Amino acid sequence: MIRAARVYLRVSTDEQDLARQEAIVAGARAAGFYVAAVYREKASGARPDRPELLRMVDDLQPGEVVIAEKIDRISRLPLPEAELLVATIRGKGARLAVPGIVDLSDLVADSSGVSRIVLEAVQDMLLRLALQTARDDYETRRERQREGIEIAKRAGRYTGRKPDLAHHRRIVALRDAGMSIARTAELAGCSIAQVKRVTALHRKKIAVPDKHDESIDTG
């Protein structure tokens, strides 16, 4: 019986490289999986609107397996949102195959009664723990970043936050796709004012190209 897998690769920023994770694809094939598709994304795991993640979930077929390097590649969302994402994957009849997550699916399938209930509870507990750990790590990193900024400000070395070019491109892509300003702000997770600023800058760049004007810091 052919085992089909969909591989999800993710890094947080454009500056990071997906090359290291590409080995997962070869590893999946070596393990006997037919790789139905590979989804490559450069976006924060704390974003629920990642296009490639949503495309993967939409593509899933019953019996398929989602493979990723670690659970935090799939999600750094708050626990309720992360559990909803996993429930959506399971609702498509698929399951996760991620290092660090003990997969008891086969044991559960072969069990019944109290044993089945216990195994399902253990599986859910381990997954919930992994998802919460991924979120906690994200929050810790953000707190350290805030502390670093405060220290730099007090020392007079803080020069401001660098513009999020990937976020700006997401806004432009949504607007180019015909989304309204309000809908774009909702999907991109930003303010309507930011959508207007980024859109205006993009139109200005098209009218008067300037290779030195990469973007603006819109906060």
Neighbouring residues of 120: CB distance < 8 A, sequence distance ≥ 6: 104, 108
Q: Confirm if 53 and 83 have CB atoms less than 8 A apart.
A: no
Host H or E run for residue 140: helix 113-154
Where in the chain does DSSP place strands (E)?
3-11, 33-42, 65-67, 95-97
Report CA-CA distances (Å) from 134 to 70, 73, 86, 214.
9, 9, 14, 32
The catalytic residue positions are 12
